[in-house]
Amino acid sequence: MKIFKNRHSLIKEISKKKDISFVPTMGSIHRGHLSLIDKAKKESSNILVSIYVNPKQFSSIADFKKYPRNLIKDIKLLKKKKIRYLYLPNKKDIFSLKVKIPIYLDKFSQKLCGRFRPGHFKGVVDVVNRFLEIIKPKSIYLGIKDFQQLILIKSHIKKNKIKTEVVSCPVIRERTGIALSSRNIRLNKNQLKIAEEIYKFLKLNKKKIFIKNLNNKKLDIFNKIKKFGVKKIDYLECLNISTLKKPQHINEKFNLFIAYYIDKVRLIDNL
């Protein structure tokens, strides 16, 4: 595995390779990230993983500083996976790049997390756009757990006619049903149990929650979820995953989208 901390040396190494499969991460590598790598390896032997905790997508300095980091462990895991390249840029290396492609932020950015995290998705699309200009990958692998992020990156790529395929990868869960996330590290045993109970409640009551939402009785569901030990709920929405609009009929294909806090840890999921 070749490790690069400078974009110029990375570009020199990969500029002639046309089959780069790119997996962007913020580190604290877990089985969810590894599943993206496994899928990418089916398409190409030239896998490039980036680890960069992007300050522009955090709503506060405190949250940025608390984001879990374990670079030594990450490198060991990636070496075991035998990936070809690892890119570890710093802020200057990424943001000193004069980008040629403008950021496109679809109006979907104003829904769900966008209502509660101003500037977050602009920061996400900005940094991904920079990675795409540097790496010029054939494909980029993104998890469906971060559904809104996935859709916005896909929209940006399509709008700007960037020649990179977006490959959507399924949510990877613990046996308990909890969606894997780097932030889970910050939860203790009791808090993980709360997250497990919330997942089970949502899965069991998906149709009931749809009906409550349709009839403007969302508060009933909020109160039930808070009884599990949730400090705060940003949103609980039903969205048709094809139209990205609120479904009007129970037979529509829709997902539940939730963002909530257990103590100071914000978790998202969709199912």
Phi, psi (rounded to 5 degrees) for 70: -155, 75
Active site residue 30: no
Which of 33, 120, 156, 249 is catalytic? The answer is 33
Q: Quick check: 210 and 250 in contact, CB under 8 A?
A: yes
Q: Provide the pairing of β-strand 265-270 with 254-262.
A: antiparallel
Exposure b/e, 112-142, CB count within 10 A at least 16 = b? bbbeebeebbbbbbbbbbbbbbbbbbbbbbb
Distance CA 89, CA 85 (A): 13
Residues annotated as catalytic are: 33
